[in-house]
A and B are shown apart, each in its own frame.
Chain A
Amino acid sequence: MAEENVDVLVENIVTPENLVYRKPTTLLDVDMHYCPGCGHSTVHKIFMEVVEEMGIQNDIIGVAPVGCAVFAYNYMDVDMQQAAHGRACAVATGIKRMLPDKYVFTYQGDGDLAAIGGNETLHAANRGENFLVIFINNAVYGMTSGQMAPTTLEGMVTTTSPYGRDPKVMGYPLKFGELIAPLPGVAYVTRQAVNNVQNVRRTKKALQRALEYQKMGLGFCLVEIVSNCPSNWKMTPLESNKYVQEVLIPYYPLGDIKVPEVKK
C-alpha cells in the first residue's frame, strides 16, 4: 500500500465517533523514562484517569520522593513536590496541614516507604494524616539498579543479596500494610496489583476509593500495588508479570486489609 493511502486510511479511522481509548488529559503527552513493561506507567495512567474522572486536577498536590518515580511530576499534570528519599509522608504532612481542603498524595517505592522512610510513614499513619499513599512494591530497588528492598522475598536474588535473601542475616520481607493497618489513624489499607487487566481495574477502583475517603476526612489511606521490575529482575515484561502472579502475590496476597465503615 502506498504511504499516502495509509495516511488517508488512518485519518478516516481516527475520528471522534470511533474513539474507544485515549490517554487521560491529566497525563502529559511526553515519553516516559520507565523501562518497557514497568508497572509505574500503568499506575501513573490509571491514577491520572481517576484524577480526571473526579475532576480534581486543580485541587490535588502530589509528592514524588527518590526512586524511579521521582520523575512522576514529568508525567502527571498536577502540582507536585519532589521529596528527599523517605521523606514523602513528612512533606505531605506539611502540605496537607496547610491545605486541608486539597487532595494530597505521595507516590513511593518499597525502599522509600518501608526502609529509609519507615519512620515518617509509620508516624504519618499514626497521626491519621488525611492523605493517600500510593506504595509501589516490586521487591527491589529500581533506580539504583536492583539492590535488596525491605520487601525482597526470602531467597530472592538481588545485587546485594547475590546468593538470595537470607533472613537470618538480612531480615524478613516486610509487610508494611499489615503493620500499620491496626493503627486507629489508618482508614484504608489495600493491596492490589497491575499485572493483568482485571487487577489494573481493581487498582484503579481502590485509588478512587482512597481519594473519596480523603474527601470524607477519614484519615490515612495506603494503596499498596504489587508491581514488577523487568530490568532488575532480568525478565521480559511478560515473564515479570507471571513472576508477580506466581511468586510475589502468594506472599503479598491481594485484597483489602482494612476498610473504613462508611455510612451510606
Chain B
Amino acid sequence: MGEVKLMKGNEALAEAAIRAGVDAYFGYPITPQSEVIEYLSREATKRTGMLVLQAESEVAAINMIYGAAGCGKKAMTTSSSPGISLMQEGLSYIASAELPCLLANINRGGPGLGTIQPAQGDYFQATKGGGHGDYRLLVLAPYNVQEMADFVKLGFELAFKYRNPVMILADGALGQMMEKVELPPQEPRVNVEYPWATTGKPKNGERRVITSLHIQPEKMEEINIRLQQKYQKMKEEEVRYQTKNLEDAEYIFTAFGLVSRIAMKAMDLGRQKGYKIGWIRPITLFPFPEKIFQEVAPRVKGILDIEMNSGQMVEDVKLSVCGKTRVEYYGRMGGVVPTPEEILENFERMFIKGE
C-alpha cells in the first residue's frame, strides 16, 4: 500500500499532480479551489522542478497552457465555475488544435458570481463543449478525495492518448473535505519528443504548425470529421461507471460526483424500507455511459436522477433510455446539498405514492 494521508480534495489533487510528473501549472486563485495553487507554489518546484505560475487571469492561464501543451509538455490548471467560463475560448482553441491538457473545475453555485458552496451547475458546460464550435472535453467525475488524486494521472494519460483536453469535474465539497487518500508513487518528469510539438524546427524535417485556423471550409470540415471520429472512439473505449444492486433492482438512483454518495445512502435507506433500488454512478460524463442505462431501462420501473443543479445529466439519461422507462429528476440548486432523507422522500412521492 502506498503512502496514506488525510487530505483535502484540492490538496490531494495538487499532490497527485506533483507525483504524476506534471511539467507546468498555470492558474488564477478562486474559491473554493485556491488550495491547489497554494499547495503547488509551496511544494512543486522544489520537489520536481515543475513550473507553477500565477497568471494575470484565467484567460491568460488557459493560453499559457496552449503554449506549453503545444511544446508537448504536461500542463494543467484548476479553477471554479466563473474562472472556467473565462477559459472556454482557450479550451475551444485547444480542442481544435488537438493539444493535450488537464483542467479541474471545482464547481460552485451559479449562475453569475453565485456562491462558493458546492454545485453541479456546470455539467452542460463541461460535457457539451462549453466554448464555441463542435468539440468535447473528456470529463471525469470523482466522488471522493481518492479519485481527486487518482484522476490526475488518468486524466493526463487520456489527454495524451487522444490529444484532447480532459476535465475533472468536481465540486466545492469534494475540494474542501478531508478524507483518507492513498497517494500514488512519485513519477519522474520525462522529456518526450512528440512529432507534432513545436520545440524548434527539426534539422531534417518539416516545420510544425499548431493551429485551429482553416479558411477553406472543406479543410475545416475534414478537421471536424476527425474530431468527431476521436469522440466516437472515446465513446467506444473510455466509458467508465460504477453500479450497485442492479441484480434485483426495480428502481435506479443515478447521480455523479458527491451526490452519488448521498444517493447511495438514500438507496440504503430505501432498501431498509423494502424498495429494491439499484445505483449507477457515471464516472465519465463525456463519454456518457449510455449502454448501462439502455440495459437496465427495460427491466426497471423507473430511474431517479439526482443532481445539484436544475436537472442537466438527466437529459443524457433520458437520451440513453430512449423512453424505455420513466425518468425523473430531483435536485437542489445554488449550493444547497440534498440529504439522503429528502431524496428518499421525493422518490416515494414520485414513484411509490404515484404522484
Spell out A's residues near B (CB within 8 Å): 57-61, 63, 70-71, 73, 77-84, 87, 90-99, 102, 119-120, 122-123
Contacts and interface: CB of A to CB of B under 8 A. Distances in A.
Contacts of A96: 67
28 contacts: A61-B199, A73-B209, A78-B201, A79-B200, A79-B208, A79-B209, A80-B198, A80-B208, A81-B66, A81-B67, A82-B211, A82-B213, A83-B67, A84-B63, A87-B59, A90-B59, A90-B60, A91-B64, A91-B67, A93-B64, A94-B68, A96-B67, A97-B51, A98-B67, A119-B56, A120-B59, A122-B56, A123-B60
A81 B90 CA distance: 13
Contact of B201 (A58, A70, A123): A58
A80 B66 contact: no
A119 B211 CA distance: 23
B67 A119 contact: no
Contacts of B249: none
Given A97-B68, A119-B57, A90 B198 contact: no
Contacts of A93: 53, 60, 64, 67
A69 B56 CA distance: 25
A78 B198 CA distance: 9
Given A87-B63, A91-B66, A81 B201 contact: no
B119 interface: no
B151 interface: no
Interface string B195-219: 0001111110001111111000000
Q: Ordered nearest first, which 9 A-B pairs have the shortest CB separation?
A: A94-B67, A90-B63, A94-B68, A82-B211, A79-B198, A94-B64, A91-B67, A123-B56, A87-B63
Contacts of B259: none
A83 B199 contact: no
Contact of A94 (B56, B70, B213): B70
B51 A79 contact: no
A71 B57 CA distance: 27
Contacts of A122: 56
A90 B55 contact: yes
B65 interface: yes
B212 A99 contact: no
Contacts of A123: 55-56, 60
Interface residues of B, number: 39
Given A119-B60, A120-B60, A94 B75 contact: yes
Contact of A77 (B59, B64, B201): B201
Residue of B53, B209, B212 with highest tally of chain A CB at under 10 A: B209
B70 A95 contact: yes
Nearest to A61: B198
Contacts of A81: 66-67, 70, 97, 198, 209-211
Contact of B210 (A80, A87, A119): A80
A137 to B, nearest CB: 22
A63 B67 CA distance: 9
Contacts of B200: 58-61, 78-79, 99, 102
Most buried by A among B63, B71, B93, B209: B63
Nearest to A70: B213
B15 interface: no
Contacts of A73: 207, 209, 211
Contacts of B57: 119
Contacts of A61: 71, 198-200
A42 B51 CA distance: 37
B199 A102 contact: yes
B316 interface: no
Interface string B60-81: 1101111111110101000000
A1 to B, nearest CB: 42
B35 interface: no
A58 B203 contact: yes
Interface string B70-104: 11010100000000000001100100010000000
Contact of A99 (B89, B97, B199): B199
A155 B199 CA distance: 45
A94 B209 contact: no
A70 B203 CA distance: 25
B329 interface: no
